[in-house]
Amino acid sequence: MSRYLLITSDTGFARRLDAAATGELAGEIHHWNDPVFPRQPEVLFAGQRNTSRPEVVILGPGTAMEESLSLASALDHSHPEVSVLLVHPGGADIVLAAMRAGIRDVLDPGAEATDVTALLHRAVRSAADRRSAFTALPGTADPGVKGRVISVLSPKGGAGKTTVATNLAVGLAASAPHATVLVDLDLQFGDVANAMQIAPEQSVAEAVSGAATQDTMVLKSYLSPHPTGVYVLCAPDSPAAEAQITAANIGHLLDQLASQYSYVVIDTGAGLSDHTLAALDKSTDYVFVAGMDVPSIRGLRRELDVLKELGMVPPSRHVVLNGADPRDGLSMPDVETTLGHKADIVIPFSRAARLATNQGTPLLQGTPKDRATKELRRLVERFIPAPAPKRKRLSKARHRRGMP
Ligand SMILES: Nc1ncnc2c1ncn2[C@@H]1O[C@H](COP(=O)(O)OP(=O)(O)OP(=O)(O)O)[C@@H](O)[C@H]1O
Ligand SMILES: [Mg+2]
């Protein structure tokens, strides 16, 4: 049965909703009649007789706009499987603000009964789709399951770590919406915020101190949502903040995030700082990035050797060569011999990649058809579980004969 939570003191609308929620849309409707309502979903749900979560929350006529948008954003963040509808006469600015807050649809208070029914249909179906997508994901279905933690690293600066990390996160979010978090662990000069046009209110500095360290709900509220469905934890504004953050802080932060998200992608600063080593210690995957030049390749070889000496051999590692240009005079067999490792992905030099950085729009957010985009997609696919092979249908004859 579908379940709804209607927030309004408008009894006329409550009756119309009752009338619309029939047939396959029938289900319990909980009412919050008080014009004052909590902005935090947990407090709102705890105030219900039946504490199981609703599938659809309807912000009915007369609800204060600021509170409504704030509650909708919080629901979008912490309970993305819940569909939220806003009942409001609308206007372009309201619809835009509603969309940004993750509201599914805006319904005119005077809408015909058939329109109310159609919107409820959409909301219930979308809630069901989202629920099934979420229960299929590790880290959301079972709190004991940890998500995949992917560190992107390189021995040298400017190799393309941020380009790879941001695109990887965007690509993964396309297959696991709202289940991917990107952490900027380039704590002194991180530029994920610029690369994704985010103006964060909180950063890693706040996430590793105070209430967020004890409560994942608080931690989640420190993440910045990106339109692609990625949540981002940006680097601190001031390079000085790095000194206050310990390696143990990073380990704890990544444990918390991996318990909540299917994919935790980490962008790092150049080299092997204590913070990067702490991230590697928690990572299931290392993505090594190197430029296509001799110093970069040699540097990467040394980094691979050092990690091996430290006993840091991840379950899965991926080597990305970035900015490849055939005119540079390096042959792939020579590069692989020097590296002692096969190149898994080779991203060509691309003007579109530079433009994307300058514009703050990761390549995979748009649809440029250049070869760099194609290689970045290949990298993303390495992390997406392949669909189960289709089982061949047994022929009727075999079936009848009861053959295995
Ligand atoms: N395949 C590519 N072709 C052309 N330019 C690229 C490519 N990949 C990255 N770049 C550009 O190179 C510059 C450095 O890239 P990026 O910031 O991703 O490197 P980084 O390793 O994160 O650097 P830092 O160590 O400073 O954090 C950016 O301007 C980016 O647009
Ligand atoms: Mg960077």
Q: What CATH number does the domain containing 38 carry?
A: 3.40.50.2300
Beta bridge mates, 230: 180
Q: Is residue 389 part of a domain?
A: no
Query: Closest ligand 1 atom, CA of 157?
Result: 25
What's the CA gap between 71 and 54, in Å, rounded? 14
Q: What is the mean pLDDT of each run of 10 residues along the chain (404 residues)?
A: 83 90 82 87 76 84 92 84 89 82 87 84 76 52 70 96 98 89 97 96 94 88 91 95 95 95 96 95 95 93 92 86 88 88 93 95 88 96 75 47 38
Express each pLDDT in 32-78 by its tens digit: 988 888 888 888 887 776 656 788 999 999 999 999 999 998 888 77
Q: Is residue 304 part of a domain?
A: yes
Domain range enclosing 332 = 148-381
The predicted pLDDT at position 142 comes to 47
Q: Is residue 347 part of a domain?
A: yes
Beta-carbon contacts of residue 71 (< 8 Å; ≥ 6 apart): 37, 38, 39, 40, 41, 44, 57, 59
Last residue of a domain, one of 89, 104, 135: 135
If you take atom 28 of ligand 1, which residue's CA is the nearest one? 354
Which ligand approaches the C-alpha of residue 289 most closely? 1
Query: Closest ligand 1 atom, CA of 191?
Result: 27
Beta bridge mates, 57: 5, 84
Q: Is residue 223 part of a domain?
A: yes
* Same domain? 177 vs 255: yes
Q: Can you list the positions of beta strands (E) in 122-242?
A: 148-153, 180-185, 224-225, 230-233
Query: Closest ligand 1 atom, CA of 190?
Result: 27
* Same domain? 110 vs 160: no
* Same domain? 79 vs 49: yes
* Same domain? 157 vs 294: yes
Number of separate helices (H) and strands (E) present in the chain: 16, 13
How many CB atoms sit inside 10 A of residue 374's CB?
13
* Same domain? 283 vs 366: yes
Structure-block tokens of residue 181:
């978090």
Q: Is residue 390 part of a domain?
A: no
**Structurally, how many domains does the chain consist of?**
2
* Same domain? 21 vs 123: yes
Q: Could you tell which of 168, 328, 354, 365 is best to mutate to test the pocket of ligand 1, judged by most ligand atoms within 8 Å of the CB?
A: 354
* Same domain? 171 vs 265: yes
Which ligand approaches the C-alpha of residue 363 most closely? 1
* Same domain? 166 vs 270: yes
Structure-block tokens of residue 249:
């802080």
What's the CA gap between 151 and 153, in Å, rounded? 6
The predicted pLDDT at position 115 comes to 83
Q: Is residue 8 part of a domain?
A: yes
CATH of the domain at 319: 3.40.50.300
Give the residue from 259, 241, 23, 232 showing the smallest Cα distance to 138. Answer: 259
* Same domain? 193 vs 249: yes
* Same domain? 305 vs 189: yes
Answer yes or no: are the C-beta atoms of 230 and 115 closer than 8 Å.
no
Structure-block tokens of residue 191:
């530029």
Structure-block tokens of residue 404:
């295995």
Last residue of a domain, one of 135, 161, 186: 135
Alpha carbon of 369 to those of 96, 314, 327, 365, 377: distances in Å?
29, 33, 22, 12, 11
Q: Is residue 391 part of a domain?
A: no
Answer yes or no: are the C-beta atoms of 45 and 75 closer than 8 Å.
no
